[in-house]
Chains A and B, each alone.
Chain A
Amino acid sequence: MTRSRASTVLLTILSAAFLVTGCSSQDQNIAARGEKVLYLFNWNNYIAPKTVKQFEQSCNCRLSQDYYADNEEMLAKLAAGASGHDLIIPTGNAMSTLIHQGVLRPLDKTLLPNLKNINPSHLNNAFDPGNKYSVPYAYTVTLLGFNQQKIIELGLPTDSWSLIFEPKYLKKIKGRVTVLDSQRELMAAALKYLGYSANDANELHWQEARNLILRAKPYWAAFSNTSYVKELAVGNLWVAHGYSNDMFQAALDAKKTGRKFIIDYSIPREGAVLALDSLVIHQSGTHPELAHQFITFMLDGRNSAELTNLTGSGNPNMSAVQFIQPEIIDNKAIFPDQELFTRLEMIQDLDRTQRRRLSRLWTEIKLRNL
């Protein structure tokens, strides 16, 4: 009995070992072929699979992706000292954190001839003046998504944050609304509605925002960062505070599954948050030239358009416009016009005392009622 058990255990280990060696030999094959591997730290589904294939063919290398679900996860991991990624695609404030930490490699603009493709209004922002480190990749807007039929039926406004903050509207959609489970995003929406900047850190204004949120909270179903996409498309939710690319997804899903309603989304007239994601090169990466090559590849209008067509993200690349599906390019919530664009604001990092204050306020918001 003991012998046969020992043999089974051995067998298990051996087969595991075989699998491991099988894996390493695969890597050796790549090494033997002299193939380089470019490591990209990215959101999942934030580059079209087709684009990956084309890039791999053009550079005779392999693109290996690691994923994060949130900027903060990526920052925390890097902050602890994780290394080895050539490229990262952080959002504005996370990128500014990385710049301040001094972990990014300045771009060699001579290697990026088609940087001129980027719309100047997305260049030279406060996070990276002169774009020393970053090349805009894509953007999303935080806005309101809604079930069009229901909203019309109930006679509710769709162009204002009042839809998620005013009890007179909320009482008609009680329990069918979610807001983002994000301290900064929800505060930004509330501050915008109150007429302040999304980055306002004035204690009194925060208290005002807190009261506004607490007054509306009983009508909300939940704080949700992900599930609203599906719940909107299914019809369980009627209004959701969320990201434009998620709303695009929800609208598409609702359409594909033949729902009797349409999911629509719009940017509130009080203004909203713009999240610009950029390509940056991390210092610990070992292939800076290849990273530049990738950026150049992604700056190409056709490649850049693939992402927008896939995910409905905003595109800062002017030469991509002609390759983007017309219904996306015509959507004001994804490609806001000049006038609307000026009312968008990017979120800036708070300092550590402000962060602690906000965290406490957030706990209070979750825990208490007015």
Chain B
Amino acid sequence: MIRNGAKENRVTKWLVSGPPLVFLLVFFVTPSLIMLFTSLRFPGEFGGLAPIISPTEAAQGEHGLTLETYQLFFSDILYAEVFLKSFIVASTSTLICLIMAYPLALLIARSEKRFRNLMVLLVVLPFASNFLIRIYAWMIILGPESVFSHFINGVLSAFGVAPVTLLFSPFAVIVGMVYVYLPFMVLPLYTNLEKHDPALLDAAQDLGANAWQRFWHVTWPLSLPGVFSGSVLVFIPVLGMFAVPDILGGTGDILIGNLIKDQFLGTRDWPFGSTLSIMLTLAVLAITALSTWLARPASITKG
């Protein structure tokens, strides 16, 4: 850092970080605190709302605070199972997204410049249509009488495997998740890969590295920040998603998202819904912190 720029730096720092910080403090942190508070309340008798405490109510001591929802969460292995299951689904979806998105992003980044915009747009465009209608389209593709189902079962029977139902299964849930979040993996990957200097690859080639070595020792390590943020943008939203398991899932496909939705739009148990959400957010933050920490050395070695 340049010494004489220190003061100016401080001003710039707050000019840059100030607005998003203030916005998030007002419109995210405050509502979150409300919900944190809600998690400590009792559900209302009619409709699960624990009304926000008003001074008169507090004076009457009508609704005390309680930790019972936390107790409920930790005393029952059932909820941990739902969490575990969701994390498995989210990890699988993220991994498949990565495998599908990486070649696509790489290809776009290495295409001629005039095609790049179009190719990226083509990735995003389907997502201007309605989310539910796209999921319903998957119901058609995965349906028991669909061409795709017949094809898959044809292949399976050739290997002597009993026919499978694709729709209403964990498989369909993963397909739906991957479909919904694929662009969130492609875009960060692409914006990262796009800035790589081709000279590095040429240099590696000159040094006698084959295609695989060039990828593994040059492109991949450089792209790790993109891989990381893409994974975050897929992994986290999958955890909260409830519509995909609702529509495409079978009888056992319940994820945290469904559980939380049920608390608000079913059981009317806002306190427990808040508690579940808090646990989810904490778990997610812990995972991101951990992976940031793990990813850090790799991005620094680049230099």
Which residues in A have some Cβ–Cβ distance to B below 8 Å? 70, 72-73, 75-76, 79-80, 97, 100-101, 175, 181-183, 217-218, 220-223, 225-227, 231, 234-236, 349, 351-352, 355-356, 358-360, 362-364, 366-367, 369
How far in angstroms is the closest Cβ of chain B from A75?
5
User: Looking at the complex, which of B77-85, B107-115, B177-185 is the stretch in contact with chain A?
Assistant: B77-85
Within 8 Å CB of A369, what residues of B?
252
B165 touches A352 (CB 8 A): no
Given contacts A352-B43, A352-B45, A364-B78, contact A359 B266 (CB under 8 A): yes
Q: B278 in the interface, Cβ–Cβ < 8 Å?
A: no
Can you show 18 pairs from A to B with CB atoms below 8 A apart?
A72-B266, A75-B47, A76-B47, A101-B46, A101-B47, A182-B266, A221-B165, A221-B168, A221-B251, A222-B251, A227-B136, A352-B43, A352-B48, A355-B268, A356-B272, A359-B263, A359-B267, A367-B82
Across the two chains, which residue of chain B brings its CB closest to A175? Answer: B165
* CA–CA, A73 and B264, complex, Å: 8
Q: Mark B45-81, 1 if CB is under 8 A from A, else 0.
A: 1111100000000000000000000001000101101
User: Looking at the complex, which of B139-147, B199-207, B223-231, B286-294 is the stretch in contact with chain A?
Assistant: B139-147
Within 8 Å CB of B76, what residues of A?
360
* CA–CA, A181 and B245, complex, Å: 11
Q: Mark B259-303, 1 if CB is under 8 A from A, else 0.
A: 100111111110010000000000000000000000000000000
A349 touches B46 (CB 8 A): yes
A352 touches B250 (CB 8 A): no
Interface residues of B in 139-172 (CB under 8 A from A): 139, 143-145, 165, 167-168
Within 8 Å CB of A183, what residues of B?
262, 266-267
Which residues in B have some Cβ–Cβ distance to A below 8 Å? 42-49, 72, 76, 78-79, 81-82, 85, 136, 139, 143-145, 165, 167-168, 246-247, 249-254, 258-259, 262-269, 272
Given contacts A183-B267, A359-B269, A363-B78, contact A227 B139 (CB under 8 A): yes
Within 8 Å CB of A235, what residues of B?
145
Across the two chains, which residue of chain A brings its CB closest to B46? Answer: A100
Across the two chains, which residue of chain B brings its CB closest to A219? Answer: B251
* CA–CA, A218 and B95, complex, Å: 29
B254 touches A366 (CB 8 A): yes
Given contacts A227-B139, A355-B43, 14 further A-B contacts (CB under 8 A): A97-B46, A175-B144, A223-B251, A226-B247, A236-B143, A349-B46, A351-B45, A352-B42, A352-B44, A356-B72, A356-B269, A359-B262, A359-B267, A366-B253
Within 8 Å CB of A360, what residues of B?
76, 78
Among A235, A236, A351, which residue has the most Cβ atoms of chain B within 10 A?
A236
How far in angstroms is the closest Cβ of chain B from A83?
15
Interface residue from A80, A217, A355, A366 paired with B269 (Cβ < 8 Å): A355
Within 8 Å CB of A234, what residues of B?
143, 145
Across the two chains, which residue of chain A brings its CB closest to B136? Answer: A227
Within 8 Å CB of B247, what residues of A?
226-227
Within 8 Å CB of A226, what residues of B?
247
A220 touches B251 (CB 8 A): yes
* CA–CA, A112 and B44, complex, Å: 34
Given contacts A351-B45, A360-B78, contact A222 B249 (CB under 8 A): yes
Within 8 Å CB of A80, what residues of B?
49
A222 touches B168 (CB 8 A): yes
A236 touches B251 (CB 8 A): no
* CA–CA, A352 and B42, complex, Å: 9
Across the two chains, which residue of chain B brings its CB closest to A218? Answer: B251
Within 8 Å CB of B258, what residues of A?
366
Interface residue from A218, A356, A367 paired with B267 (Cβ < 8 Å): A356
B269 touches A363 (CB 8 A): no
Among B136, B143, B259, B265, which residue has the most Cβ atoms of chain A within 10 A?
B265
How far in angstroms is the closest Cβ of chain B from A275?
16
A367 touches B78 (CB 8 A): yes
Across the two chains, which residue of chain A brings its CB closest to B264? Answer: A76
Across the two chains, which residue of chain A brings its CB closest to B68? Answer: A356
A352 touches B269 (CB 8 A): yes
How far in angstroms is the closest Cβ of chain A from B41?
11
> Closest 7 A-B residue pairs measured CB to CB?
A366-B254, A222-B168, A359-B267, A79-B49, A72-B265, A100-B46, A221-B168
Within 8 Å CB of B145, what residues of A?
234-236
Within 8 Å CB of A76, what residues of B?
47, 49, 264-265, 268
Within 8 Å CB of B249, what residues of A?
222
Within 8 Å CB of A181, what residues of B?
246
Within 8 Å CB of A79, what residues of B?
44, 47-49
Within 8 Å CB of B250, what residues of A?
221-222
A356 touches B251 (CB 8 A): no
* CA–CA, A70 and B267, complex, Å: 13
Interface residue from B165, B251, B254 paired with A217 (Cβ < 8 Å): B251
* CA–CA, A100 and B48, complex, Å: 13
Across the two chains, which residue of chain B brings its CB closest to A364? Answer: B78
Within 8 Å CB of A225, what residues of B?
246
How far in angstroms is the closest Cβ of chain B from A171?
15
* CA–CA, A150 and B49, complex, Å: 46
* CA–CA, A235 and B144, complex, Å: 10
Within 8 Å CB of B252, what residues of A?
366-367, 369
Within 8 Å CB of A351, what residues of B?
45
Across the two chains, which residue of chain B brings its CB closest to A80? Answer: B49
Within 8 Å CB of A355, what residues of B?
43, 48, 267-269
Among B76, B85, B252, which residue has the most Cβ atoms of chain A within 10 A?
B252
Across the two chains, which residue of chain A brings its CB closest to B135? Answer: A227
A70 touches B254 (CB 8 A): no
* CA–CA, A79 and B144, complex, Å: 42
Across the two chains, which residue of chain B brings its CB closest to A94? Answer: B47
A362 touches B262 (CB 8 A): yes
